[in-house]
């Protein structure tokens, strides 16, 4: 089997290896594949592994030998699933590999906004504590999270883990179901967010949840709410969020994702106050990336063994 890894440097910048795939055939791994090179690099391959390299119908039309596309991620919007169905190409993803790491990052963003650790560390390193007349000082109001309400929007595996950690911090969890319209025994979205001191987003990006946090929703929130987004950037209208941060309606916004990645120079969050922004690294611990590679290789192994559907995490 001929296998091409199209953009491997995100998952494996050099601290891991591709041995889990090499056991199945000849592997060619590229760090990044520019759009103009996709067809040439994938031509003649039986399987391709992609993270963000797109496979459109137009590209797939040029790849008659392709039988399998393994997405090295949970999201698979980079692949035209309908075209793959038409051509008999199996498409798989890795639905669960970063639960603990993403929950950890969500709480890290929250704690940074509550305790301002980075700000005070920088101040101490600049000598401010040495010059202080008092034994302590703080540069910004700090927040105790115990007793605060946190709306966890999307109670899948990651949201559920965040809820457990938040409870350990003494917070009151207001759970919103993974499917926003399903009220079941949990809170509706509007009920939860209007009661919340903190909102943490963990729902999938769908037409329903695109721009979920917008000017209209923000106007109904508590003054001084903190919002965390370690899910998908377009869940938040960034212009509306920037305005809310500048007015003080939102006291803090922490995100590991933005609407367009890499981030653009004109993103309004770059110049907004009280923000903590990390470059989509919730999934980046070595342990998490290793788990991702092994899981993606298991999908390919099961495909080679003739399995399909949920046995290989097939999404088409």
Report yes or no: 251 and 60 within 8 Å, Cβ to Cβ: no
Alpha-carbon gap, residue 52 to 28, rounded angstroms: 17
Determine the pLDDT at residue 125: 98
Determine the pLDDT at residue 70: 98
Report yes or no: 73 and 51 within 8 Å, Cβ to Cβ: yes
Determine the pLDDT at residue 186: 76
Alpha-carbon gap, residue 289 to 294, rounded angstroms: 9
Determine the pLDDT at residue 185: 59
Query: Which tokens in the block code for residue 50?
Result: 């992609």
In order of their start, the domains of the chain are 2-93+286-312 (3.40.50.720), 99-277 (3.40.50.720)
Determine the pLDDT at residue 178: 73
Active site residues per annotation: 232, 261, 280
Alpha-carbon gap, residue 108 to 114, rounded angstroms: 10
Is the four-CA dihedral 237, 242, 248, 254 of positive or negative sign?
positive
Determine the pLDDT at residue 180: 57
CA atoms within 13 A on the CB side of 90: 22
- Secondary structure of residue 134 in the 3-state scheme: coil
Cα 24–287–285 angle (5° rounding)?
120
**Residue pLDDT tens, the chain, 316 long:** 999 999 999 999 999 999 999 999 999 999 999 999 999 999 999 999 999 999 999 999 999 999 999 999 998 999 999 999 999 999 999 998 999 999 999 999 999 999 999 999 999 999 999 999 999 999 999 999 999 999 999 999 999 999 999 999 999 999 998 765 554 557 899 999 999 999 999 998 999 999 999 999 999 999 999 999 999 999 999 999 999 999 999 999 999 999 999 999 999 999 999 999 999 999 999 999 999 999 999 999 999 999 999 999 999 9
């Amino acid at each position: 089997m001929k296998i091409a890894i199209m953009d491997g440097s995100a998952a494996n910048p050099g601290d891991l290896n591709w041995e889990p795939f090499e056991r199945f055939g000849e592997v060619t791994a590229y760090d990044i594949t520019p759009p103009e090179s996709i067809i040439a690099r994938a031509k003649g391959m039986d399987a391709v592994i992609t993270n963000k390299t797109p496979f459109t119908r137009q590209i797939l039309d040029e790849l008659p030998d392709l039988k399998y596309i393994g997405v090295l991620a949970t999201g698979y919007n980079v692949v035209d699933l309908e075209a793959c169905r038409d051509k008999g190409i199996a498409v798989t993803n890795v639905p669960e590999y970063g639960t603990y790491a993403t929950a950890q990052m969500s709480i890290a963003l929250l704690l940074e906004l509550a305790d301002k650790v980075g700000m005070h560390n920088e101040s101490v390193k600049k000598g401010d504590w040495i010059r202080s007349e008092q034994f302590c000082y703080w540069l910004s109001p700090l927040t105790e999270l115990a007793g605060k309400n946190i709306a966890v929007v999307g109670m899948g595996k990651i949201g559920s883990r965040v809820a457990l950690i938040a409870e350990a911090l003494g917070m009151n969890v207001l759970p919103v179901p993974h499917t926003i319209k399903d009220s079941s025994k949990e809170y509706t979205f509007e009920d939860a967010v209007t009661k919340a001191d903190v909102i943490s987003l963990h729902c999938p990006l769908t037409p329903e949840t695109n721009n979920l946090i917008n000017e209209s929703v923000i106007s109904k929130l508590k003054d001084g709410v903190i919002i965390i987004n370690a899910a998908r950037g377009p869940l938040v209208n960034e212009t509306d969020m920037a305005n809310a941060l500048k007015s003080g309606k939102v006291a803090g916004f922490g995100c590991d994702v933005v609407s367009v990645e890499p981030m653009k120079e004109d993103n309004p969050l770059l110049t907004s106050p009280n923000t903590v922004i990390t470059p989509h690294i919730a999934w980046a611990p070595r342990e998490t990336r290793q788990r991702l590679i092994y899981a993606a290789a298991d999908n390919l192994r099961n495909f080679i063994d003739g399995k399909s559907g949920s046995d290989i995490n097939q999404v088409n």
